[in-house]
């Protein structure tokens, strides 16, 4: 059964599925390197349509050159774009990061905002990025970061019938404990990378195949 077909509601098996996946991925932790809220925000913006590994390679040198909001705000879009070229969509990301830095300097007292409402005012920051920054930089769990892996697995596992990330987020928040939301996101991401890939998922070796309505095993 494919994800786009009508998969039945499987939320009754959520706890069992999540428990099994947590045994496989006991240390589901963020892969992006950062040492401050600003670095996390920049890294998360760069991670759109890019692997965490590639982002970490870029930020290893980037964070040595750009240490403050003022550094980013004063950057030239073209030059900055060349520095982040390998993360893809570099021109748009450069504009978003530089403009966000300027907005944070003028509107947010030179600090990265620590509320969902304020973060969403920054260019290039949607709920996914905001949730990551809030949870990892400030310890605030407002929701769950829904990326392509979380979206795919939530549908395949029968946790949601929706395609819209915000609706998927709401569905997951209804069935998971708030304190588990970040771990759930990372767990689904890891399982999506390792087993439940978009094409040719490894259903035969999947630990939750007996509870998954999409299993081909």
Please give the chain's pLDDT, 217 residues, in tens: 344 468 999 999 999 999 999 999 998 877 899 999 999 999 999 999 999 999 999 999 999 999 999 999 999 999 999 999 999 999 999 999 999 999 999 999 999 999 999 999 999 999 999 999 999 999 999 999 999 999 999 999 999 999 999 999 999 999 999 999 999 999 999 999 999 999 999 999 999 999 999 998 8
What is the dotted CATH code of the domain comprising 37-138? 1.10.340.30
Specify the pLDDT at position 1. 39
Domains of the chain, residue spans: 11-29+144-211, 37-138
Helix (H), strand (E), coil (C) string for 58-100: HHHHHHHHCCCHHHHHCCCHHHHHHHCHHHCCHHHHHHHHHHH
What is the dotted CATH code of the domain comprising 11-29+144-211? 1.10.1670.10
In this chain, the answer to whether the domains covering 11-29+144-211 and 37-138 adopt an identical fold is: no
Annotated active-site residue in 147, 170, 180, 209? 147
Phi then psi for 7, rounded to 5 degrees? -90, 130
Q: Is 93 a catalytic residue?
A: no
Binding site residue list for [4Fe-4S] cluster: 196, 203, 206, 212
Binding site residue list: 196, 203, 206, 212
Specify the pLDDT at position 3. 42
Specify the pLDDT at position 5. 63
Q: Is 180 a catalytic residue?
A: no
Specify the pLDDT at position 30. 74
Specify the pLDDT at position 80. 98
């Amino acid at each position: 059964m494919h994800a786009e077909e009508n998969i039945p509601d499987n939320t009754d098996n959520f706890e069992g599925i999540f428990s099994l996946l947590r045994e496989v991925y006991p240390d589901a932790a963020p892969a992006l390197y950062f040492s401050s809220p600003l670095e996390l925000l920049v890294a998360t913006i760069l991670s759109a349509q890019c692997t965490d590994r590639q982002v970490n390679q870029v930020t290893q040198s980037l964070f040595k050159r750009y240490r403050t909001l003022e550094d980013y705000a004063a950057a030239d879009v073209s030059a900055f774009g060349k520095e982040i070229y390998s993360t893809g969509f570099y021109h748009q990301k450069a504009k978003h990061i530089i403009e966000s830095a300027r907005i944070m300097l003028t509107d947010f007292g030179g600090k990265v905002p620590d509320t969902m409402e304020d973060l969403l005012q920054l260019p290039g920051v949607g709920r996914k990025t905001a949730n990551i920054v809030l949870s990892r930089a400030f310890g605030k769990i407002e929701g769950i970061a829904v990326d392509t892996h979380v979206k795919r697995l939530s549908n395949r596992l029968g946790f949601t019938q929706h395609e819209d990330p915000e609706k998927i987020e709401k569905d997951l928040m209804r069935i998971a404990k708030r304190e588990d939301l970040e771990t759930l996101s990372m767990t689904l991401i890891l399982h999506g990378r390792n087993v439940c890939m978009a094409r040719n998922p490894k259903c035969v070796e999947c630990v939750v195949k007996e509870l998954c309505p999409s299993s081909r095993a």
